[in-house]
A and B are shown apart, each in its own frame.
Chain A
Amino acid sequence: MTAQRYLLDGVRPLGGEPVRMLLADGRIAAVGTDVDAAGAEVVDAAGLHALPGLVDLHTHLREPGREDAETVETGTLAAALGGYTAVFAMPNTEPCADTAGLVEQVWRLGRDAGHCDVQPIGAVTVGRQGERLAELGAMADSAARVRVFSDDGNCVSDAVLMRRALEYVKAFGGVVAQHAEEPRLTEGAQMNEGALSGVLGLGGWPAVAEEAIVARDVLLAGHVGSRVHICHLSTAGSVEIVRWAKEKGWDVTAEVTPHHLLLTEDLVRSYDPIYKVNPPLRTDADVQALRQALADGTIDCVATDHAPHSLEHKETEWAVASPGMLGLETALPIVQQALVDTGLLDWAGVADRMATKPAAIGGLAGHGRPLAEGEPAHLVLYDPAAEWTVDRARLASRSTNTPYAGHALPGRIVATFYGGRPTVLDGKPT
Chain B
Amino acid sequence: MNRHLISAGDLSRDDALLILDTAAELAQVASRPVKKLPTLRGRTAVNLFYEDSTRTRTSFEVAAKRLSADVINFSAKGSSVAKGESLKDTALTLEAMGADAVVVRHGASGTPNRLTNWIDGSVINAGDGTHEHPTQALLDAYTIRDRLGRLDGLSVVIVGDVLHSRVARSNVLLLATLGVDVTVVGPPTLLPVGVETWPCATSYDLDAVLPKCDVVMMLRVQQERMHAAFFPSAREYSRRYGLDARRMATLPEHALVMHPGPMNRGMEIAAEVADATRSTITEQVANGISIRMAVLYLLLGGTEPAIGHDPAHTEPTESA
Which residues of A are interface residues toward B (Cβ below 8 A)?
190, 193-204, 206, 270-272, 312-313, 315-320
Docked CA distance A124–B109 (Å): 35
6 A-B pairs in the complex with CB atoms less than 8 angstroms apart: A199-B198, A201-B132, A202-B110, A202-B129, A202-B130, A317-B80
Given A201-B166, A271-B114, residue A319 in contact with residue B193 (CB < 8 A): no
B88 and A271: CB pair below 8 A? no
B128–A315 CB distance below 8 A: no
Specify which of A200, A201, A312, A318 is in contact with B114 (CB 8 Å cutoff).
A318
B183 at the interface (CB under 8 A from A): no
- We find that the number of chain B residues with CB closer than 8 angstroms to chain A is 29
B80 close to A195 (CB less than 8 A): no
Across-interface contacts of B73 in A (CB, < 8 A): none
CA–CA, A201 to B81, complex, Å? 21
B111 within 8 Å of A by Cβ?
yes
Given contacts A316-B81, A319-B108, A320-B81, contact A201 B193 (CB under 8 A): no
User: Which of the residues A195, A312, A318 comes within 8 Å of B109, measured between beta carbons?
Assistant: A318
- Contact partner, A198, options B110, B166, B192, Cβ 8 Å: B192
Given contacts A194-B194, A318-B110, contact A201 B80 (CB under 8 A): no
Asked if A315 and B86 sit within 8 Å, CB to CB, the answer is yes
Complex alpha-carbon distance, A194 and B196, angstroms: 11
Q: Which residue, of A198, A200, A320, has the highest number of chain B Cβ atoms within 10 A?
A: A198
Q: In the complex, what residues of A have CB within 8 A of residue B196's CB?
A: 195
Once the chains bind, are B80 and A271 in contact (CB under 8 Å)? no
Question: Which residues of chain B are near A272, meaning CB under 8 Å?
Answer: 114
User: Could you tell me the distance in whole angstroms from the C-beta of B57 to the nearest C-beta in chain A?
Assistant: 19
Contacts of A202 in B (CB 8 A): 109-110, 129-131
By the criterion CB–CB under 8 Å, are A201 and B88 in contact?
Answer: no
Q: Is B106 an interface residue (CB 8 A)?
A: yes
B109 touches A271 (CB 8 A): yes
Residues of B close to A318: CB separation below 8 A: 108-111, 114
Cβ-closest chain B residue relative to A206: B193
Known: A271-B109, A320-B81, A320-B108. A201 touches B130 (CB 8 A): yes
Contact B81 A196 (CB under 8 A): no
Chain A residues positioned under 8 Å from B109 (CB to CB): 190, 200-202, 271, 318-319
Contact of A198 with B106 in the complex, beta carbons under 8 Å: no
CB distance from A206 to the nearest CB of B (A): 8
Contact B88 A315 (CB under 8 A): yes
> A198-B193, A271-B109 are contacts. A316–B128 as well, Cβ < 8 Å?
no
- Is B132 a contact of A317 with CB atoms below 8 Å? no
Cross-chain contact B86 with A198 (CB below 8 angstroms):
no
Contact (Cβ within 8 A) A198 B81: no
Do B192 and A271 have beta carbons less than 8 Å apart?
A: no
Contacts A195-B194, A315-B88 known; 15 new A-B pairs at CB < 8 A: A194-B193, A195-B197, A197-B193, A200-B109, A201-B110, A201-B129, A201-B130, A201-B132, A202-B130, A312-B86, A317-B110, A317-B114, A318-B108, A319-B109, A319-B110
Q: Is the CB of B87 within 8 A of A317?
A: yes
Cα A76 to Cα B111 in complex, Å, equals 35
How far apart are the CA atoms of A194 and B132 in the complex, in Å?
Answer: 17
Q: Smallest CB–CB gap between A269 and chain B, Å? A: 9
A317 CB → nearest B CB, Å: 4
Chain A residues near B129: list those with CB within 8 A.
201-202, 319
Q: Mark B128-147, 1 if CB is under 8 A from A, else 0.
A: 11111000000000000000
Within the complex, what minimum Cβ distance (angstroms) separates B139 from chain A? 20
- Interface centre among B192, B196, B197, by most chain A C-beta atoms within 10 angstroms, is B192
Tell me the minimal C-beta distance from B180 to chain A in angstroms. 19
In the assembled complex, how far is the CB of residue A8 from the closest CB belonging to chain B, in whole angstroms? Answer: 46
Contact flags B61-88 to A (C-beta < 8 A → 1, else 0) = 0000000000000000001110000111
Q: Does B187 belong to the interface (CB within 8 Å)?
A: no
Distance (Å) between the CB of B107 and the closest chain A CB? 7
Q: Within the assembled complex, what's the spacing in Å between the Cα atoms of A160 and B106? A: 41
CB closest residue in chain B, given A321? B81
Interchain CA distance A200-B169 in the complex, whole Å: 9
| Contact residues in A for B193 (Cβ distance below 8 Å) | 193-195, 197-198, 204, 206
Top 3 A-B pairs, shortest CB-CB distance:
A195-B194, A271-B110, A201-B131
B113–A270 CB distance below 8 A? yes
The docked-state distance in angstroms from the alpha carbon of A312 to that of B169 is 30
B194 touches A197 (CB 8 A): yes
A196 near B194 (CB under 8 angstroms)?
Answer: yes
Measured between C-beta atoms, what is the minimum distance from A235 to chain B in Å? 15
Interchain CA distance A14-B193 in the complex, whole Å: 46
Residues of A within 8 A of B111 (CB): 271, 317-318
Most chain B CB within a 10 A radius of its CB, from A197, A199, A204, A272:
A199
State the CA gap A317–B81 with chains docked (Å): 9
The smallest C-beta distance from A323 to any residue of chain B, in angstroms, reads 14
The interface residues of chain A lying within 8 Å CB-to-CB of B131 are 200-202
Residues of B within 8 A of A271 (CB): 109-111, 113-114
Q: How far is the CB of A217 from chain B (nearest CB, A)?
A: 25
Closest CB in chain A relative to B135 CB, distance in Å = 16
Within the complex, the shortest CB–CB distance from B127 to chain A, in Å, comes to 10
Q: In whole Å, how far is B110's beta carbon from the nearest beta carbon of chain A?
A: 3
CB neighbours of A194 from chain B (8 A): 193-194
Q: Does B34 contact A (CB under 8 A)?
A: no
- Cβ-neighbour of B195 out of A190, A198, A319 (below 8 A): A198
B87 in contact with A201 (CB, 8 Å)? no
Q: Please tell me which one of the listed residues A196, A198, A203, A316 contacts residue B87 in the complex, with CB atoms under 8 A apart.
A: A316
A316: chain B residues within 8 A (beta carbon): 80-81, 86-88, 114
A268 to chain B, nearest CB (A): 9
What is the CA–CA distance of A320 and B86 in the complex, to the nearest angstrom? Answer: 11
Closest residue on chain A to residue B118 by CB atoms: A315
Chain A residues within an 8 Å CB radius of B88: 315-316
Contact A201 B169 (CB under 8 A): yes
Give, as a whole number of angstroms, the nearest-CB distance from B230 to chain A. Answer: 12
Which B residue's beta carbon lies closest to that of A315? B88
A residues in contact with B130, CB < 8 Å: 201-203
CB distance from B12 to the nearest CB of A (A): 18
Over the window 191-223 of chain B, the binary record of Cβ atoms lying under 8 Å from chain A Cβ atoms (1 yes, 0 no) is 011111110000000000000000000000000
Q: How far is the CA of A317 from the CA of B128 in the complex (A)?
A: 11
Instruction: Given A201-B132, A201-B166, check contact A317 B195 (CB 8 Å).
Output: no
Knowing A271-B110, A312-B86 touch, does A198 contact B194 (C-beta < 8 A)? yes
* Distance from B50 Cβ to chain A, minimum over Cβ atoms (Å): 9
Residues of B within 8 A of A317 (CB): 79-81, 87, 106, 108, 110-111, 114
The residues of B that contact A312 with a CB separation of less than 8 Å are 81, 86
Which residue of B is nearest A187, CB measured? Answer: B228
Chain B residues near A206 (CB, 8 Å)? 193
Residue in A313, A317, A318 whose Cβ sees the most chain B Cβ within 10 Å: A317
Residues of B within 8 Å of A200, CB to CB, are 109-110, 131
